[in-house]
């Protein structure tokens, strides 16, 4: 039975995409509750200036809290070497850096072109190595960009190889704008893996146009072993108002468990965690079909096979 790691990114990707600031105690309750369901990895926040993202101002405290939960892999997002230094100081097990495959997007987002970003990745790699932390790079806008449109596959492959050479230990392909389709996922995963091998482990998918689960399955068929997801699809997508954001954790767990993949996550317990979000963020929409429909009558028989 194949184990698929589901990495919960809601406390970072979900919360940074909405206006309300979730109270610290509610964040802690959310993280603890998901860990108790068997979620193996949680991205608890990002190390960015609080003036830019006040939603992430308490990330260091969340790292310290989450490190006290046995068996949980605690990770965070960092935009640059300064953020990487703050992350290792806080005690993360690992951190990831976003590297936009659309150079125009990269310049607008972090004010660095591709050459400058590779040097920043090199600096982050040194920080991770010295601290004994795991360092991953997320190849964002890999499937398309709202500024440039299509991103050449050759660019993604070349930047993936450059990231590994600069010190990244692991890569993910990120559908930042919700442009991916299953055929494109298969093509790009194959092309990148032909260059970097098993260093490509992860897909970060959005459900903007309803293709999230289909794209996840395409990735699994190509050997992907980690999928990012957000409880309740929290956060939405800034490029498509009204659309859900990341893959909905609950729907993803249902699909994988029912198909016979091993996730280690108790779905019935996970569905109850939504109440924490609903109480702390009453005006934010929560997405997902499974919470409304419930599990199938033969769900337990399916996962027991």
Active site members: 237
Q: Name the residue with tokens 């490029």.
A: 239
CA distance 178 to 40: 25
Proportion of the chain in helix, strand, coil states, percent, rounded to 5: 50, 15, 35
Question: Are 233 and 192 in contact, with CB atoms under 8 Å apart?
Answer: no
Q: Which of 89, 186, 82, 205 is nearest to 138 (CA)?
A: 205
Exposed e or buried b per residue across 258-290, where buried means at least 16 C-beta atoms within 10 angstroms of its C-beta? beebebebebeebbebbebbeebbeebebbbeb
Calpha distance 4→275 (Å, rounded): 25
């Amino acid at each position: 039975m194949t184990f698929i790691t589901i990495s919960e990114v809601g406390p970072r990707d979900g919360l940074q995409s909405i206006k309300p600031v979730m109270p610290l105690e509610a964040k802690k309750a959310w993280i603890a509750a998901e860990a108790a369901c068997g979620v193996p990895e949680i991205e608890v926040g990002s190390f960015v200036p609080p003036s830019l993202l006040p939603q992430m101002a308490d990330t260091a405290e969340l790292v310290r809290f989450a490190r006290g939960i046995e068996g949980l892999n605690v990770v965070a997002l960092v935009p640059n070497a300064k953020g990487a230094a703050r992350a290792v100081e806080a005690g993360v097990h690992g951190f990831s850096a976003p590297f936009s495959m659309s150079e125009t997007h990269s310049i607008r987002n972090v004010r660095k072109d591709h050459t400058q970003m590779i040097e920043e990745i090199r600096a982050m790699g040194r920080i991770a190595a010295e601290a004994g932390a795991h360092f991953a790079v997320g190849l964002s806008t890999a499937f398309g960009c709202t500024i440039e449109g299509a991103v050449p596959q050759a660019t993604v492959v070349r930047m993936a190889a450059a990231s590994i050479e600069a010190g990244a230990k692991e890569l993910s392909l990120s559908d930042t704008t919700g442009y991916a389709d299953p055929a494109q996922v298969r093509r790009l995963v194959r092309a990148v893996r032909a260059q970097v091998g098993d260093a490509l482990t992860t897909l970060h998918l959005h459900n903007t146009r309803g293709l999230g689960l289909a794209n996840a399955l395409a990735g699994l068929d190509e050997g992907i072993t980690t999928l990012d997801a957000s409880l309740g699809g929290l956060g939405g997508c800034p490029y498509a108002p009204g659309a859900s954001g990341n893959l909905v954790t609950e729907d993803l767990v249902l699909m994988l468990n029912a198909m016979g993949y091993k996730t280690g996550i108790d779905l019935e317990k996970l569905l109850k965690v939504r109440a924490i979000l609903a109480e702390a963020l009453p005006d934010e929409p929560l997405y997902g079909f499974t919470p409304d429909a419930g599990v199938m009558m033969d769900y337990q028989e399916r996962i027991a096979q």
